[in-house]
Amino acid sequence: MRGGRHREAHDTMAGMNTPPEDAATTTPLLRACRGEAVPHPPVWFMRQAGRSLPEYRALRAGTSMLEACRRPELVCELTMQPVRRHGVDAAILFSDIVVPLVAAGVDLDIVAGTGPVVAAPVRTASDVAALAPLHPDAVGYVAEAVRLLVGELGATPLIGFAGAPFTLASYLVEGGPSRHHEKTKALMYGDPALWHALCGRLAEIALTFLRVQVTAGAAAVQLFDSWAGALSEADYRRYVLPHSAAVLGGLADLAVPRIHFGVGTGELLAAMAEAGADVVGVDWRTPLDAAARRLRGRPVQGNLDPCVLFAPWDVVETEVRRVLAEGAAASGHVFNLGHGVLPGTDPDVLTRVVELVHATTVTARRPGEEDDPVA
């Protein structure tokens, strides 16, 4: 059993008695997240399990998204599909950011082609008061899926994830996906006390969900604040950062790398790092070398524009090499897209990107590290 992997990871970070055979703590993903030398940049893709894969569409046929998330063996297989096909350096648990909300009693559904839709949006003090905490047993099926996966994955690390308080709040307050987040912001500006109460509850739910995954064996976590880029830095710091910090800080004792990602967050990168991220995910709008400067060298993740995958291969290759070269400015670089894989993406292009990233050691190497025997 690898259920105690996070403990071993902690020992590695502290430089204590780590068994050399424990490959799980020395994989490229975990090394890059800690800013250590890697044989090649690690690569995985947000939304790597999904509709771009014919085997995903076949396995999901006839099962709703939320139902699929509740079936550990199906979750295990859906999570494994992109790992087997693409040879990525990490698996990401097949689930959704709204799964812990449903488990905590929120009436919502994931509508195909739309996203999460909430039956009764959360807008008043009594709505917030009715938002119950998440009991770990209510997501026992997630822990079970993680345990199955850890056995199946071997040395490949599993990334657990949750939605950050702002992004979860946006779905709950708007009642569904939103372009401008106007009801969310109206609540935030109009009733800060209620806003903080809501985000406090969401932070607890997200933290419980992440702790369940890490305790069951997830080797790293990603906190998705997908829609935080809708905020100014000042508002992010005032209304959001303390709550994301509660989630990330609440994981500190588990000593797994914490990746924090949002879209359109170029102006928020330093603040997102301050929230407690070990690695900051960057979308395609901010070059990774500029991001690394804003983050004072902290490891970064990203940031190929998912739309580039629809261009001819020579363009894809040029762009992948550019991202690798820019990522080399950071102390660690986890190659990824700047947001999730789009459903129409040709999966063979994703496989070729993995091969290219794995073969591009020399250009990915940072200046001055040429003699490093491990790099």
Q: Between 9 and 97, whose beta carbon lies closer to ligand CP3?
A: 97
Q: Select which of 11, 22, 51, 109 is catalytic.
A: 51
Q: Residue 282 in contact with residue 291, Cβ under 8 Å?
A: yes
Instruction: List the beta bridge partners of residue 335.
Output: 43, 302
Q: Which of 34, 123, 171, 298 is catalytic?
A: 171
Of 5, 31, 34, 60, catalytic: 60
Q: Shortest gap between Cβ of 33 and ligand CP3 (angstroms)?
A: 17
Residue type at position 42: P
CA distance 157 to 177: 31
Q: Which is nearer to ligand CP3, 12 or 213 (CB)?
A: 213
Least distance (Å) between residue 20 CB and ligand CP3: 31
Question: Does residue 205 come out as left (phi exceeding 0), alpha (psi in the -120 to 50 range) or beta?
Answer: alpha
Least distance (Å) from ligand CP3 to the CB of residue 298? 21
Q: Of 45 and 239, which has the nearer Cβ to ligand CP3? A: 45
Q: Is 109 an active-site residue? A: no
Residues that bind ligand CP3 (CB under 6 A): 46-51, 60, 65, 92, 94, 96-97, 110, 112-116, 161, 177, 224, 226, 340
Q: Nearest residue to ligand CP3, using CB?
A: 226
Q: For residues 159 and 222, what is the distance between their CA atoms, to the nearest angstrom? A: 7
In the bound state with ligand CP3, the residue whose beta carbon lies nearer, of 12 and 81, is: 81
Which residue, 27 or 79, has its beta carbon nearer to ligand CP3?
Answer: 79
**What is the DSSP pairing of strand 158-163 with strand 220-224?**
parallel
Residue environment code for 50-68, b if the CB has 16+ CB neighbours within 10 A, otherwise e: bebbeebeebbeeeebbeb
Q: Residue 107, Cα to own-chain centre: how many angstroms? A: 24
Ramachandran sector of residue 370 (left: φ over 0; alpha: ψ -120 to 50; beta: rest): alpha
Residue 84 designated active-site: no
Active site residue 56: no
Question: Closer to ligand CP3 at the Cβ: 113 or 312?
Answer: 113
CA 206, 236, 277, 351 torsion: positive or negative? positive
CA gap 10, 257 in Å, rounded: 10
Half-sphere exposure (CA, 13 Å, Cβ side) for 208?
A: 20
Does the N-terminal peptide bond of residue 17 adopt cis geometry, omega within 30 degrees of 0?
Answer: no
Q: How far is the CB of 226 from ligand CP3 (least distance, A)?
A: 3
Taking the alpha carbons of 176, 181, 185, 188 in that order, is the dihedral positive or negative?
positive
Report the catalytic residues.
Answer: 47, 51, 60, 96, 171
